[in-house]
Amino acid sequence: MSLKVAVAGASGYAGGELLRLLSGHPEVEIGALTAGGSAGTALGLHHPHLVPLAGRTLVETSAETLAGHDVVFLALPHGQSAEIAEQLGEDVTVIDCGADFRLIEAEAWVEFYGGKHAGHWPYGLPELPGQRDKLRGANRVAVPGCYPTVSTLALLPAVQGGLVDPGQLVVVAVSGTSGAGKGPKTHLMGAEVMGSATAYGVGGVHRHTPEIEQNLGAVTDEGVSVSFTPVLAPMARGILATCSAPVTPGVSAESLRQVYEDAYGNEPFVHVLPEGQWPQTQATLGANTVQLQVTLDQRTGRAVIVAAMDNLTKGTAGAAVQCMNLAAGLDETLALPLVGVAP
């Protein structure tokens, strides 16, 4: 099999990471690469690391340029996916790296994003219970946000198993700056971010908050509440999420750990580290992996789970390719690195 794929928004960070992974995919032929303002320029100007594709020319993002492909990846600002997806037939698999089709509740969409809710597509987190089957053969996939992926995977086993109080979840996630995209902004300039850490979207206003609650709410009957704070750190890639919640009375460190090992023992991309070893983002750089560790703080009675992930790989583009593999009936792990680039 050879899938002809197009990437819309190829000049951005998600687009570049998609092409890095797809260029090594044995069942993929790379077709149209589209962009907005950069249309007409060489891909290599924007992504000199994509050596084999450097000479390819970006074309305008449109239904016409995206037509004739088996799979279309959308790596566009939110709000642009719905219109394009409608013009692509049902026989085209559309994988949206944007936010448009992630939220089920229109109300949450309106509150956090504003404008009309476009609907929702199968959610591209195969590690959720039952989700893998829904993605097999899907022709529309909404790839999760980076923070929701790592936060959900960190908290899922404990919430699903009833080991923690889902009404008191706290997540503080340190992120590299590529997660904010490639559009030039003063507060993301090198001189601003190097040597500095800063919080943003504090107080439950970050758009990824309802997505995390949606994911965790699906595995518990209790009310879910997530206090989520993202922190920008001076690194290009990587998220380290520190998650905690009060444990249910009687839960021990051993039972907590066991639940995580059971949950992820067969997952190809989610790895519980050996006891005592804590995740570092560097170990996941460029890989489609999540590394996590769990402990019980005996003094406070809180479970603490720390998870590391590359926001552009498992957090965006790797997840998208994983979903494409499932949608197309391929081996789910094809072309997805297990090994990070460190140091």
Q: CA-to-CA distance for 261 and 256, rounded, in angstroms?
A: 9
225 burial level (CB within 10 Å; 0-12, 13-18, 19+): middle
| Residue 297: both structure tokens together | 């703080």
* Residue 16 or 122 having the CB closest to a copy of itself: 16
Length, in residues, of the chain: 343
Q: CB count, 10 Å around CB of 212?
A: 28
* Residue 94 or 224 having the CB closest to a copy of itself: 224
Residue 184 sits in the site that holds a copy of itself (CB under 8 A): yes
Least distance in angstroms from the C-beta of 70 to a copy of itself: 22
* Residue 52 or 137 having the CB closest to a copy of itself: 52
Dihedral sign for Cα 201, 203, 207, 213, please. positive
* Residue 106 or 236 having the CB closest to a copy of itself: 236
Dihedral sign for Cα 180, 324, 26, 86, please. negative
* Residue 23 or 255 having the CB closest to a copy of itself: 23
Residue 291 sits in the site that holds a copy of itself (CB under 8 A): yes
Residue from 249, 46, 24, 211 nearest 125 by CA: 211
Choosing from 117, 160, 182, 333, the residue that interacts with a copy of itself (CB under 8 A) is 182
Least distance in angstroms from the C-beta of 179 to a copy of itself: 9
Choosing from 308, 319, 320, 335, the residue that interacts with a copy of itself (CB under 8 A) is 308
Q: How far is CA 175 from the centre of its chain?
A: 13
Of 56-64, 69-77, 132-140, 295-303, the segment contacting a copy of itself by CB under 8 A is: 295-303
Least distance in angstroms from the C-beta of 21 to a copy of itself: 9
**Following DSSP, what letter does each residue of 21-76 receive, concatenated?**
HHTT-TTEEEEEEEESTTTTSBHHHH-TT-GGGTTPBPEE-SHHHHTT-SEEEE--
* Residue 46 or 78 having the CB closest to a copy of itself: 46
What residues contact residue 196 under an 8 Å CB cut-off, 6+ apart?
234
Residue 188 sits in the site that holds a copy of itself (CB under 8 A): yes
Site string for a copy of itself, 242-271 (x = CB under 8 A): x-x-x------------------------x
Q: CA-to-CA distance for 135 and 323, rounded, in angstroms?
A: 7
Residue 277 sits in the site that holds a copy of itself (CB under 8 A): yes
Element (H, E) at 271: strand 270-272
Residue 334 sits in the site that holds a copy of itself (CB under 8 A): no
Dihedral sign for Cα 323, 170, 290, 127, please. negative
**Is 243 designated active site?**
no
- Number of residues engaging a copy of itself in binding (CB under 8 A): 92
| Residue 77: both structure tokens together | 């600002």
Choosing from 119, 234, 255, 334, the residue that interacts with a copy of itself (CB under 8 A) is 234
Site string for a copy of itself, 52-81 (x = CB under 8 A): x-----------------------------
Residue 34 sits in the site that holds a copy of itself (CB under 8 A): no
Q: Which residues share a beta bridge with 303?
A: 245, 296
The answer to whether 194 and 250 are in contact (CB under 8 A) is: no
Residue 166 sits in the site that holds a copy of itself (CB under 8 A): no
Catalytic residue numbers read 146
